[in-house]
Amino acid sequence: MTRFTFFGAAGEVTGSCTLVETDSARFLVDCGMFQGGSEARLKNLRALDFGGDVRGIDFVLLTHAHIDHSGLLPRLAVLGYRGPIYATPASIDLLGVLLPDSAHIQEKESEWQLRHQRRGKAYRGGVQTPLYSVTAAREALKLLRPAPCGETFRLPGGVEARFHDAGHILGSAWLEIVARGQTLVFSGDLGMRDRPVLRDPERPALEADALLVESTYGDRLHRPMEETIEEIVAAFERTRESRGNLVIPSFAVGRTQEILCLLGDLIRRGRLSPLQVFVDSPMANEATRITLAHPELLDDETHELIDWVKTHPDMMQVEFVADAERSRAINTIREGAVIISASGMCDAGRIKYHLRENLPRGECSVLIVGFQAGGTLGRRLVDGARVVRIFGEPVPVRARIHTVGGLSAHADQGDLLNWLGGFRRPPGKTFLVHGEAGATAAFARAIENRLGWKDIRLPQRGQHFEI
The candidate with the shortest Cα–Cα distance to 68, out of 211, 238, 188, 237, is: 188
pLDDT value of residue 256: 96
pLDDT value of residue 111: 84
pLDDT value of residue 278: 98
Name the least confident of 113-122, 199-208, 238-247, 393-402. Answer: 113-122
Average pLDDT of span 239-257: 96
Selected residue with higher pLDDT from 251 and 120: 251
**How many structural domains comprise the chain?**
2
Same domain, 144 and 246: no
DSSP-assigned states of every residue in 254-281 = THHHHHHHHHHHHHHTTSS--EEEEEE-
Same domain, 150 and 255: no
H/E run at residue 154: strand 153-155
Position 104: which residue type?
H
Q: Of 377, 403, 429, which residue sits at a domain end? A: 403
pLDDT value of residue 322: 86
Average pLDDT, the chain: 93
Q: Does the structure show a pLDDT above 70 at 126?
A: no
pLDDT value of residue 124: 56
Same domain, 179 and 249: no
User: What CATH code is carried by the domain that includes residue 425?
Assistant: 3.60.15.10
pLDDT value of residue 373: 74
Same domain, 234 and 343: yes
Average pLDDT of span 110-118: 76
Same domain, 430 and 374: no
Same domain, 212 and 230: no
Q: Does the structure show a pLDDT above 80 at 266?
A: yes
Rounded to 5°, angle at Cα 41 from 36 and 47: 105
Same domain, 117 and 209: yes
Same domain, 170 and 36: yes
Q: Does the structure show a pLDDT above 70 at 37?
A: no
Q: For the CA atoms of 442, 16, 284, 392, what is the dihedral angle to 10 degrees?
A: 80
Q: pLDDT tens for residues 388-398? A: 999 889 999 99
Q: For the CA atoms of 95, 101, 103, 106, what is the dihedral angle to 10 degrees?
A: -140
Same domain, 377 and 229: yes
Contact 28, 61 (CB under 8 A): yes
H/E run at residue 175: strand 173-179
Average pLDDT of span 36-65: 87
Same domain, 374 and 331: yes
Rounded CA-CA distance 149/296 in Å is 11
Position 412: which residue type?
D
Same domain, 374 and 280: yes
Q: pLDDT tens for residues 132-149? A: 999 999 999 999 999 999
Residue 247 has a CB neighbour count (10 Å cut-off) of: 27
- The strand order across the sheet containing 246-249 reads 316-320, 275-280, 337-341, 246-249, 365-368, 400-403
Q: pLDDT tens for residues 342-361? A: 988 898 889 999 999 999 99
Rounded CA-CA distance 127/129 in Å is 6
Position 436: which residue type?
E
The candidate with the shortest Cα–Cα distance to 98, out of 43, 41, 32, 9, is: 32
Average pLDDT of span 417-443: 97
User: What CATH code is carried by the domain that includes residue 260?
Assistant: 3.40.50.10890
pLDDT value of residue 114: 79
- The strand order across the sheet containing 26-29 reads 144-146, 85-87, 59-61, 26-29, 17-21, 3-8, 464-466
Rounded CA-CA distance 323/360 in Å is 25
Q: Does the structure show a pLDDT above 90 at 306?
A: yes
Name the least confident of 34-38, 277-281, 426-430. Answer: 34-38
Contact 410, 191 (CB under 8 A): yes
pLDDT-based confidence at 121, cuts 50/70/90? Answer: low
The candidate with the shortest Cα–Cα distance to 17, out of 61, 65, 74, is: 61
Q: Does the structure show a pLDDT above 80 at 401?
A: yes
- In terms of residue numbers, what domain contains 434? 3-220+409-466
pLDDT-based confidence at 125, cuts 50/70/90? Answer: low
Distances (CA, A) of 115 to 111, 122, 126, 128: 6, 11, 12, 12
Q: Does the structure show a pLDDT above 60 at 120?
A: yes
Q: Of 387, 403, 419, which residue sits at a domain end? A: 403
Q: Of 383, 403, 423, which residue sits at a domain end? A: 403
Rounded CA-CA distance 360/362 in Å is 6
pLDDT-based confidence at 296, cuts 50/70/90? Answer: very high
pLDDT-based confidence at 372, cuts 50/70/90? Answer: confident
- Global pTM reads 0.92
Same domain, 237 and 149: no
pLDDT value of residue 20: 97
**Residue % of the chain over a pLDDT of 90:** 84
The candidate with the shortest Cα–Cα distance to 174, out of 186, 159, 183, 182, is: 186
Contact 16, 410 (CB under 8 A): no
pLDDT value of residue 265: 97
